[in-house]
Chains A and B, each alone.
Chain A
Amino acid sequence: MSMNRRQWFKVAAGMGAGLALADLGVNVQQVHAATRGMKLNGTAEYTSACNFCSCGCGMICHVKDGKLINLEGDPDHIINQGSLCSKGAAMAAVPNSPQRLKKPMYRAPGSSDWKEISWDDAYDRIARKMKDTREKTWKATEMDGDKQLVANRTDAIAFLGAAQNTNEECYLITKATRLLGTVNVEHQARL
């Protein structure tokens, strides 16, 4: 069966929890389609793909006034054909979650609290620490028994994580870390 998304909405709206209401003489299909229409009126649609397991299920994000107001499986996607699992569907909670971090935070050595800092301050601290660490720990060469080998690296800086990231971010992590002189680059694939 071949359907576009709009047709699918109409059919899907006629299924599910409607049977009992139908006994009351309400045209469930019309009501569902209308309420759905109201909800999605004026929204912009963006296709995306789920961020939990690696099935790669397609999703549609409905956005209105800069807010995510609906998230659902993409019926035009070849893998999930509109379905999402319990976790995938739950992602709608994340953009609007009050738990999300909103500002760069700094915790000083020995401190019991975070304090807010600016992005520039954060970048400065990170960059200076990287330079300082490289200067103090650089190995141009290293010994293996009585053989002198080329090292050309620091072992004092390490990067962790990227399976949550896009390919482009992963590529820049790999490129940046090797250019900075560390091979300590790892992520969830090892686990």
Chain B
Amino acid sequence: MTNNWLDMQHSKVFLIEGSNAAENHVMSMKWIRKAQEKGAIIIHVDPRYNRTSAIADIYACIRPGADIAFLGAMINYILQNKLYDEAYVKLHTNALMLASQEFGFEDGVFSGFDEATHHYEMASWSYQTGADKKPKKAHSLDDPHCVFAQLKKHYSRYTMEMASQITGMSSEMIKKIADTMVNNKPGTILYALGMTQHTVGVQNIRCYGILQLLLGNIGKPGGGVNALRGEPNVQGSSDMAVLSGYMPGYLNYPAHNEPTLKEWTKNNGTFRAKFMVNNLKAWFGDQATPENDFGYGWLPKRSLKANHTVYGFFESAAKGDLKMLYVIGQNPMVSNANLSMTFDGLAGLEMLVVHELWETETAAFWKRPGTDPKSIKTEVILLPACYFMEKEGSLTNSGRMVQWRYKALNGPGESRGDLEILDAVFRKVRDLYKDSTDPKDQAMKAAVWNYPKEGMAEAVLKEINGFDLKTGLPVNGIADLQPDGSTSCGCWIYAGCYKGGKNLSKRRDNKTDPGGMGVYPGFAWCWPGNMHVLYNRASCDEKGQPFDPAHKLVWWDAELKKWAGFDTPDVPVATDGPDTPNGQRAFRMTGEGVGRLIAASYKDFDPKEKDKELPRDASYTPKDGPLPEFYEPVESPTENALHPNRKSSPVLKYPRVKGKQPIGKVADFPYVLMTSSIAEHWLSGSVTRNVPWLNELAPEPLIEIPLKLAAKLNLKTGDMAKVSSARGDVTVKVEVTRRMQTLQINGKEVTVVWMPYNWGFQGLSTGVSTNYITIDAVDPVAGTQETKACLVNVVPAEGGHHA
């Protein structure tokens, strides 16, 4: 989230698209309803009318996977009718920067595309630059070469009529939503997996960024782009880089073409290299020196050709390449798409290790009904883990708030906390290598790893916060971190969580709220630097004064000559005023220092840098395009109306494994299936399906179908239906409902059906897993599967009719 839960009370309009917040993030409603009581308008865009729709002021039904057509039409409408916030756009975005003259887009493809490799060369997605290597700027938004003009041109194809045809929404509804967003500011956008589980997931969210920048809604209280994240600590686990592509704090993970720290810095910049050095100091201590590149060479390097992501694991295991999988509190045998592939992967392993509370479907995959355990050669070790209240440690919520949890009781039997287990396993492996001089074993031997048994979690949190290595004291914030190895920090964005030697995640001051803005700076701690609204410098004008003085959050205090506010100001240096370049960098984490309408390919060079080869920072560009473009889901019931020759994303690779990843055709599978969780069961259900009263509330999987389809198939609520896709079939109970709709898409009827995916063959409540039929085509950038849109057929199951 750019903002946070409490901040939602300041919003005047909510666009909730791709989230059923009322069921899946229930407590968000405390703050959303507070705003609604004050007159805020709630817009809910979703293929399914759910409990969030029920409290919305405006509900719009959209076809799954058609979001970019809808959002593109809103962007076009705002641009064509000059409804954008011109002062904000000129000051805080790259609108005026001159795009490269090589940049282009034709028939569904951006410039630089190589058809043979499905790969874009990004050079033409850059700027026209001056002698200082900085982007040249136009004087007016009317300049035909500026980014703003390119944006206008790109979205001019997204007319209301076109969007209506693709999405199934009426032109009037799209216009109504756009006008509501324009006329009610600040406005916020909330999303969840409904937007990310697509093969265009990253570009879906890029639309939000563009829209909010045009409306001037980023950095302001009540504004922002807010991901309602789906797991208790998925924010923290991402921050800590439990992802193959990152080091902690979203530093790009070193690749095999970056053998030295200098090569890595050429691609990532000196600004981030400083944090990499601090990370390496945290891991290798005294063994990390400037002479040995701070131990950079010890890190394994990721391949740019191999698939190091979760779907790659199971494909690799099924081939026999991945031998050992170690799973901690995840249940892929229910939650992965295309479960047959996941099963083949588990069966292809030599050893599976699982830390769990329960005997999950993953741990017990060899017991799957219909499987002969004798045929499964995988060795399985299942370790009893402690629940969150049976151990201590911190977690980070969606608003980046890091809070401490105390141990309340011991876990049952011989269960142990994951921290203790990980520590023991690592030490045990390291012991096996104690006499090794092999270079491959030196990383673990050089590492600092001597955590105390008592207070281990706090010792680790201190390492994450970092130390001044001269004094041995914890650093107080990011500004303390040095590039020369004199400080360490395990995750640079958490620097300061142990400020003054105190664990700030334990703070509980729920009374002090300067300005009454709901910031509560003394309650727990937010990364970075206890900042609650990211990019908050953008809530101020050129002179550093709030655009809206009635809802001010931060400002330049000319008397004190520093940035001040109710929240930590998001500026590079607190004393660099608006008359300095730093004081105008409202989006300091981009190379350009401004919000990026086009995600241009750009490296920022610092003229003061001694080594002219090294950029200060490098901006991020998604590999599937600098601007969001609408592409149909891999399994789609219709053609791409914008460019019939380019139906799905050109950089997409699917199937990845021949014969295991079939693509269904609309002639065989005429309906669109979307899946999600429900209020009573959570994700794979490993916890909730072991809670008896939740099982009573929601006892079994089902399919919701619209009235029209029910009439056609002669199905009634309570009947059984067989739901099949190109990957398999499941038989479940039918619920006939007005929630789901039959839409008019490109002149034809398209029916959308829905299923929850929370069941499996283990636990107190068992049921078929919907993910046997979902598709594991993934977003080319994020690697997230397209579980929100695939094609299925529905037929009455034999003997399933009421007598």
Contact = CB atoms under 8 A, between A and B. Distances in A.
Interface in B372-398: 373-385, 387-398
Given A54-B234, A94-B690, A179-B444, A167 B395 contact: yes
Given A130-B324, A168-B457, A181-B440, A81 B303 contact: no
Contacts of B377: 109-110
Contact of B381 (A104, A157, A166, A183): A104
Interface string B352-364: 0100111100000
A99 B235 CA distance: 29
A189 B248 contact: no
B443 to A, nearest CB: 5
Nearest to A153: B300
B322 interface: yes
Contacts of A159: 242, 325-328
Interface stretch (A6-14, A18-26, A30-38, A55-63): A55-63
Interface stretch (B427-435, B580-588, B634-642): B427-435
Interface string A69-112: 00000001111110101111011011101011111111111111
A81 B29 CA distance: 12
A170 B432 contact: no
Interface string B311-324: 00100110001111
A188 B396 CA distance: 15
Q: Is the interface of A mostly helix, strand, loop or mixed?
A: mixed
B244 A185 contact: yes
Interface string A35-62: 0000000001011111111111110010
B419 interface: yes
A186 B243 contact: yes
B14 to A, nearest CB: 16
B237 A187 contact: yes
Interface stretch (B144-152, B182-190, B680-688): B680-688
A29 interface: no
Interface string B380-418: 111111011111111111110111011111111111111
A134 B764 CA distance: 39
A93 B696 CA distance: 14
Interface residues of A, number: 113
B324 A158 contact: yes
B680 A53 contact: no
Contacts of B316: 155, 158
Contacts of B305: 144
Contacts of A134: 440
A121 to B, nearest CB: 9
B382 A107 contact: yes
Contacts of B301: 149-153, 183
Contacts of A110: 373-377
Nearest to B388: A51
B396 to A, nearest CB: 6
A73 B308 CA distance: 40
Contacts of B730: none
User: Residue among A67, A97, A100 with the most chain B CB within 10 A?
Assistant: A100
Contacts of B782: 190
Contacts of A186: 242-244, 308-310, 313
Given A127-B428, A157-B326, A165 B259 contact: no
Contact of B406 (A48, A106, A151): A48
Interface stretch (B72-80, B329-337, B472-480, B613-621): B329-337
Nearest to B236: A167
Contact of B243 (A63, A153, A187): A187
A99 B360 CA distance: 11
A54 B259 CA distance: 37
Interface residues of B, number: 164
User: Residue among B24, B308, B388, B456 with the most chain A CB within 10 A?
Assistant: B388
B679 interface: yes
B242 A162 contact: yes
Given A87-B682, A191-B336, A107 B418 contact: no
Contacts of B298: 152, 179
B5 interface: yes
A2 B694 contact: no
B494 to A, nearest CB: 8
A153 to B, nearest CB: 3
A2 B511 CA distance: 9
B717 interface: no
A94 B325 CA distance: 26
Nearest to A60: B408
A104 B383 contact: yes
A63 B408 contact: yes
Nearest to A140: B440
B40 interface: no
B445 to A, nearest CB: 9
B382 A179 contact: no
A104 B384 CA distance: 6
A124 B699 CA distance: 41
Interface string B664-701: 00000000000000011011000110111110010000
Contacts of A27: none
Contacts of A86: 26, 679-680, 694, 697
A48 B408 contact: yes
Contacts of A123: 424-425, 428
For the complex of A and B, 7 pairs with smallest distance between CB atoms:
A102-B413, A56-B397, A166-B393, A161-B330, A153-B300, A163-B231, A85-B26
6 contacts: A86-B680, A154-B300, A158-B322, A171-B491, A172-B419, A191-B335
